[in-house]
């Protein structure tokens, strides 16, 4: 059993976290400053062209997760251990509450696997952190919305700096160009490798970092009915993503056989990354 930490959802209220300034808070703030300066429509399109070819490596899912032993997320104020521990913590928390939904257990395990881009050389500001739609004005709930977008060139372009920007109202999130990060990359890895995970799992993985939407209720004007139906799953998953960052670390070796069975069921073998 894990001892749950008392933590604050980062994207919902920054007051407590930033009431004290230290090297960790400065690092988080700097990650978002770089993200909100450089994540433009053109930038995201170039990253999709580069990464979505899935020609960077061939790894099993567990091999990818083991690579995350070398990664600590610079954008997360609640975690200062390698990301693989958070993967197993999340999965086990989901498993405890939803014992009959093995696809959701596996979703918990792999939801951050796209962060392997940082191991392969991408700066963390285009891998980790809360995501947001590019090509339109950032909503009020986007973290540091009023202090970090001033040097983003899209915010000076009338095609992109209005509420809807380049989108039509209720166009659907599938037609929205999200900021580039591990969510979108992992979604394309799964689709490109013909995963047997259900659509709900793909939605969770693609949008679990889109806190302005599932945490604050913004951007509904870009959503269609399908997005609104899937929102309940993203919200449910978020309970475990946020509140599974525990002090007691899981025994990963003891848990591997169970999760290897799920991997074999839903995303077996070597995957193209």
Per residue in 54-86, pLDDT (tens digit) is 999 999 999 999 998 888 766 665 555 677 888
Mean pLDDT of 25-32: 89
Q: How far is CA 83 from CA 14, 43, 45, 63, 141, in A?
A: 22, 26, 27, 13, 26
Mean pLDDT of 233-260: 86
Q: Which residues contact 222 (CB under 8 A, 6 or more apart)?
A: 133, 136, 164, 167, 169, 170, 171, 172, 173, 176
Q: Residue 132: its pLDDT value, please? A: 98
> What is d(CA 139, CA 34) in angstroms, rounded to the nearest whole number?
18
Tokens found for residue 102: 């093995």
Predicted TM-score (pTM) of this structure: 0.89
Band (6; pLDDT cuts 50, 70, 90): very low
Is the distance from CB of 89 to CB of 245 less than 8 angstroms?
yes
Q: Radius of gyration of the chain from Cα atoms?
A: 18
Mean pLDDT of 254-267: 98
- Lowest-pLDDT choice from 51-60, 124-133, 178-187, 239-248: 239-248
Mean pLDDT of 167-194: 98
Band (2; pLDDT cuts 50, 70, 90): very low
Q: Residue 244: its pLDDT value, please? A: 53
Band (241; pLDDT cuts 50, 70, 90): confident
How many other CB atoms are there within 10 angstroms of residue 163's CB atom? 12
Band (23; pLDDT cuts 50, 70, 90): low
Nearest of 167, 138, 142 to residue 154 by alpha carbon: 138
pLDDT above 60 (res 129)? yes
Mean pLDDT taken over the chain: 89
Mean pLDDT of 250-255: 94
Q: Which residues contact 225 (CB under 8 A, 6 or more apart)?
A: none
**Could you tell me what percentage of the chain is helix, strand and coil, using 3-state DSSP and rounding each to the nearest 5?**
50, 0, 45
């Amino acid at each position: 059993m894990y001892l749950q930490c008392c933590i604050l959802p980062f994207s919902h209220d920054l007051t407590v976290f930033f009431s004290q300034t230290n090297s960790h808070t400065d690092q988080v703030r700097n990650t978002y400053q770089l993200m909100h300066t450089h994540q433009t429509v053109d930038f995201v399109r170039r990253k999709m062209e580069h990464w979505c070819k899935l020609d960077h490596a061939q790894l099993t899912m567990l091999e990818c997760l083991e690579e995350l032993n070398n990664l600590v997320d610079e954008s997360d104020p609640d975690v200062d251990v390698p990301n693989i521990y958070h993967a197993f913590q999340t999965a086990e928390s989901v498993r405890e509450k939803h014992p009959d939904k093995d696809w959701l257990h596996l979703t918990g395990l792999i939801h951050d696997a796209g962060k392997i881009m940082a191991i392969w050389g991408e700066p963390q500001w285009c891998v980790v952190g809360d995501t947001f739609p590019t090509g339109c004005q950032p909503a009020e709930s986007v973290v540091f919305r009023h202090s970090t977008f001033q040097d983003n060139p899209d915010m000076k372009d009338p095609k992109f700096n209005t509420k809807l920007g380049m989108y039509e109202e209720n166009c659907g999130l599938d037609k929205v160009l999200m900021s580039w990060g591990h969510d979108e990359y992992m979604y394309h890895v799964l689709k490109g490798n013909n995963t047997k995970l259900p659509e709900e799992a793909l939605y969770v993985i693609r949008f679990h970092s889109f806190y302005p939407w599932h945490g604050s209720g913004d951007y509904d004007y870009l959503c269609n009915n399908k997005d609104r139906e899937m929102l309940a799953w993203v919200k449910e998953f978020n309970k475990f993503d946020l509140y599974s960052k525990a002090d007691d670390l899981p025994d990963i070796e003891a848990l591997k056989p169970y999760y290897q069975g799920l991997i074999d069921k839903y995303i077996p073998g070597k995957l193209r990354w």
